Structure 1
Amino acid sequence: MPHLTLPAPAKLNLFLHIVGRRPDGYHELQTLFQFLDYGDELIFEPRGDDQIRIEPALPGVSLENNLIWKAAEQLRKEVGGTLPGYTIHCDKRLPMGGGLGGGSSNAATTLVALNRLWGLHIPVDRLAEIGLSLGADVPVFVRGHAAWAEGVGERLTPSSPPEHWYLVLKPECEVSTALIFGHEGLTRHSPRIKIAPAFEGDDPRYRNDCQSLVCKLYPEVARALDWLGQFTSAKLTGTGACIFGRFPTESEALEILARKPSGIKGFVAKAVNLSPLTVRLNELN
């Protein structure tokens, strides 16, 4: 089979409300996912055996805990039998522990790519179900359209929020999602809302319920939000640590990026409602 290069884009949670906790410990959410035209890139290179290898290895992450490898193994289990091996090269641009969905996006791109390369023809609904077993954010990346999400994040309704320019900043810390969702100080009873027909990010009804707790536990995030808040409405995405702010134009966002405090990393990207992964697959078909 040929080489295949595909994007694994970032996502933003334009808001994130926690509306309850299930008996199994998982949280009930309401959120709005939108993609960015920025992310990782995966290159699938055929091997002469049946092994899945990932290059380079992620620091501090074993092969068996890498979501790329886990996605490939889940797909193998789905169909059984021997399948050709691939070396998957990951050009990692998205920070770990950033709330941008990098690991979930990598998993989704792997599912979609190997479904194609192995000629499995698994329908997208089933791919999304397999993705859910890997992480709550994986299905939205598999389906490839901005979406209003409920449940643990798997009940998706396609949505088309405005496609703004965003400045994304990553403070010098990694936020533990498990720590935030397990913390007694987390707000868990926001009232349920109906899907917004036209989402605008400055509407005070839409917030990130994790933000105040993350700021308390990770002061680096609080400082970054205060700094970016001088120029635009700044929010946390997911459980962080990345924060984002909307700008009318790319040039305005780049101007503020150039003034960011030392030690903070960042980038400017365009929000898109159709995933760059879906766009690329459409080009290949």
Structure 2
Amino acid sequence: MIYTWLSPVKINLFLYVTGIRENKYHNIQTLFQFLNYGDTLKIIPNKTGKIQLFSKKKLLENKENSIVCSAKLLKAKALSYGRIDANHYGAKIFLYKRIPMGSGLGGGSSNAATTLIVLNKLWNTQFTLQELASFSLKIGTDTPGFIIGKTSIVEGIGNILHPIKRQEKWYLVVYPNIHISTKQMFSSPFLMSNTSKKSLKSLLKLPFSNDFEYIAKKKFIKIKKLISMLSSYAPSRMTGTGSCVFSEFNNKKSAQKIFSLLPKNMQGFIAKSVNISPLHKMLNKKKYLFYK
């Protein structure tokens, strides 16, 4: 049996903040695009009742990690639904990290979603993707998008998804070695939280932008210079609330050419966009592993 799974990245092709709720959560409209690149999780189930996380980055091996939190959440939900004797279910999880933290690529949410989806299969807790997505909001507002696993326009606080299909492109994603806290970005005094909400058709026709890019440029001159440099070659924006900047190309060769022009100390990668999460494609191919 194969236990190793991809935990893919996403980029936000656009991101708008359209208001603040009474509970201080922000309403958004964003276009959630998967790339064929990400972390790797090796998940081995057992009946010790323990959730153990291992990583070369020891800082990640803590009880607050989204992987540990999501596994414990799944156990609690399964127990409350009478699905399993959850106290006896455990797992050893090995995280091989490639997604930078605070980069806007959704690494923590993706790790959580992969954990929920795969353990739901391995433990046979039998929740639907919609059920997993619903209670995954406790982990993070990006997590439902990773669980549903389709290119989507996302609204509300991340809980309303409208799957769409887009032409697949190639993306150069550059990490300027800056960690940006999502919480700090949403609490910034420079965030304008009143971008007008638009229809789905209008969102796809208008030029794409990111409401957090202004804040990042104002605070980090390195990000401002990176966006300016990449924009001279191809459409380029910051993703999410993090620091990564992406450029869009019609083919891999064009992306590689621009990557070769960047300073040698720039971290980055080239990946193709996909309309279905790479994790879901893996699950579909290996369905026989879980439904015997």
Q: What TM-score does the superposition give when structure 2 sets the normalisation length?
A: 0.92
Q: Map Cα deviations across residues 80-128 of structure 1 (whole Å, 9 max, x no partner).
A: 2323321111111111100001110000000001000001111111100
Structure 1 range deviating more: 111-120 or 83-92? 83-92
Structure 1 residue 221, shift from structure 2 partner = 1.1
Instruction: Give the partner amino acid of 1:257.
Output: F
Residues 93-104 of structure 1 mapped to structure 2, 5 A cutoff: 93-104=98-109
Say yes or no: does 1:149 pair with 2:154. Answer: yes
Where do 4+ consecutive residues of structure 1 move more than 3 Å? 57-62, 197-200
Residues 1-285 of structure 1 mapped to structure 2, 5 A cutoff: 2-47=1-46, 49-56=48-55, 58-61=57-60, 63-80=62-79, 81=85, 82-196=87-201, 199=204, 203-204=206-207, 206-285=208-287
Structure 1 residue 223, shift from structure 2 partner = 1.5
Decide whether the 8 Å contact of 1:171 with 1:263 is kept in 2. no
- Closer, same or farther in 2 for the Cα pair 1:263/1:187, shift >3 Å? farther
The residue that corresponds to 2:82 in the other structure is none
**SS of residue matched to 1:269:** strand
Q: What TM-score does the superposition give when structure 1 sets the normalisation length?
A: 0.94
**SS of residue matched to 1:99:** coil
**SS of residue matched to 1:254:** helix
CA distance in 1, matches of 2:129, 2:252: 34
Structure 1 range deviating more: 18-27 or 82-91? 82-91
CA distance in 1, matches of 2:203, 2:30: 14
Structure 1 range deviating more: 217-226 or 12-21? 217-226
Indicate the RMSD between aligned Cα atoms, in angstroms: 1.6
Give me the identity figure in percent.
36
Structure 1 residue 161, shift from structure 2 partner = 2.0
CA distance in 2, matches of 1:121, 1:57: 32
Instruction: Give the partner amino acid of 1:283.
Output: K
**SS of residue matched to 2:139:** coil
Structure 1 residue 264, shift from structure 2 partner = 2.1
Structure 1 range deviating more: 9-18 or 152-161? 152-161
Instruction: Give the partner amino acid of 1:214.
Output: A
- Closer, same or farther in 2 for the Cα pair 1:125/1:46, shift >3 Å? closer
CA distance in 1, matches of 2:202, 2:213: 24
Runs of at least 5 residues in structure 2 that lack an aligned partner in the other structure: 80-84, 288-292
CA distance in 2, matches of 1:218, 1:83: 48
**SS of residue matched to 2:88:** coil
CA distance in 1, matches of 2:31, 2:88: 37
How many equivalent residue pairs? Answer: 281
Decide whether the 8 Å contact of 2:45 with 2:122 is kept in 1. no
Q: Map Cα deviations across residues 51-95 of structure 1 (whole Å, 9 max, x no partner).
A: 111111645445111000000000011122323321111111111
